[in-house]
């Protein structure tokens, strides 16, 4: 589930990276409902420019008490080291974002609140799966071709009692549009 939420977060950051444009606000909404609101608001003034996007993710806090010691040491060693990613956002993706951009493919996820407009974003999503509860909070700013977000993820429970019973992670994401897609993004 942690990987699903992280993938959703990284996908969502691309949606928040354009001008201030219209405002989207939702409470107690599914990913599909948020995607529909984005699509409706996107008709006249797109939130996102298509093209090549380059981003950086840096984990600033990680707490997974039940992690194996060797893995914990590797994770701690990588904290503070930025990870880069590149992606291509097509014109079709700009016009009609899939609900998967918002965790919508996980039917167990809901946004307690989601607000985007005037260059700011604030959202909180909770997912329930296999006895585990995970919450992801996101806040930040976006401009014409850039974004800066702080993401916090926490969770408890799970299919195996005591395994990864409580965890938390905080990361910072920044990104910018660097031009047209080259066809080599995401490789």
Q: Specify the pLDDT at position 28.
A: 92
Q: Specify the pLDDT at position 149.
A: 93
Q: Specify the pLDDT at position 43.
A: 58
Q: What is the mean pLDDT of residues 65-72?
A: 79
pLDDT band, residue 106 (cuts 50/70/90): low
pLDDT digits (tens, 9 = 90+) for 133-157: 889 999 998 876 888 999 999 988 7
DSSP classification of residue 99: G
C-alpha 57 chain-centroid distance: 11
pLDDT digits (tens, 9 = 90+) for 59-68: 888 887 777 8
Higher pLDDT: 117 or 95? It is 117
The whole-angstrom separation of Cα 97 and Cα 103 is 12
Q: Specify the pLDDT at position 69.
A: 80
pLDDT band, residue 32 (cuts 50/70/90): confident
pLDDT at 165 over 50: yes
pLDDT at 91 over 90: no
Give this prediction's pTM.
0.74
pLDDT band, residue 176 (cuts 50/70/90): very high
Q: What is the mean pLDDT of residues 75-90?
A: 83
The residue whose two tokens read 């984005």 is 38
Q: Which of 111-120, 151-160, 166-175 has the lowest mean pLDDT?
A: 151-160
The whole-angstrom separation of Cα 182 and Cα 136 is 32
The residue whose two tokens read 């965890």 is 167
The whole-angstrom separation of Cα 123 and Cα 17 is 15
């Amino acid at each position: 589930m942690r990987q699903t939420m992280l993938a959703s977060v990284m996908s969502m950051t691309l949606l928040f990276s354009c001008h201030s444009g219209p405002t989207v606000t939702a409470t107690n909404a599914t990913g599909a409902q948020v995607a529909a609101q984005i699509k409706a608001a996107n008709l006249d003034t797109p939130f996102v420019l298509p093209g090549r996007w380059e981003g950086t993710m840096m984990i600033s806090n990680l707490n997974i008490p039940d992690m194996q010691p060797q893995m914990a040491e590797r994770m701690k060693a990588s904290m503070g080291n930025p990870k880069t990613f590149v992606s291509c956002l097509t014109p079709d993706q700009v016009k009609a974002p899939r609900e998967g951009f918002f965790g919508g493919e996980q039917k167990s996820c809901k946004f307690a609140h989601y607000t985007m407009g005037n260059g700011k974003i604030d959202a909180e999503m909770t997912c329930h799966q296999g006895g585990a509860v995970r919450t992801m909070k996101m806040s930040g700013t976006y401009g014409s071709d850039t974004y800066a977000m702080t993401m916090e993820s926490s969770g408890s429970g799970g299919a195996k009692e005591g395994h990864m019973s409580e965890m938390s992670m905080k990361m910072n994401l920044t990104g910018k549009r660097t031009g047209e897609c080259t066809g080599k993004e995401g490789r």
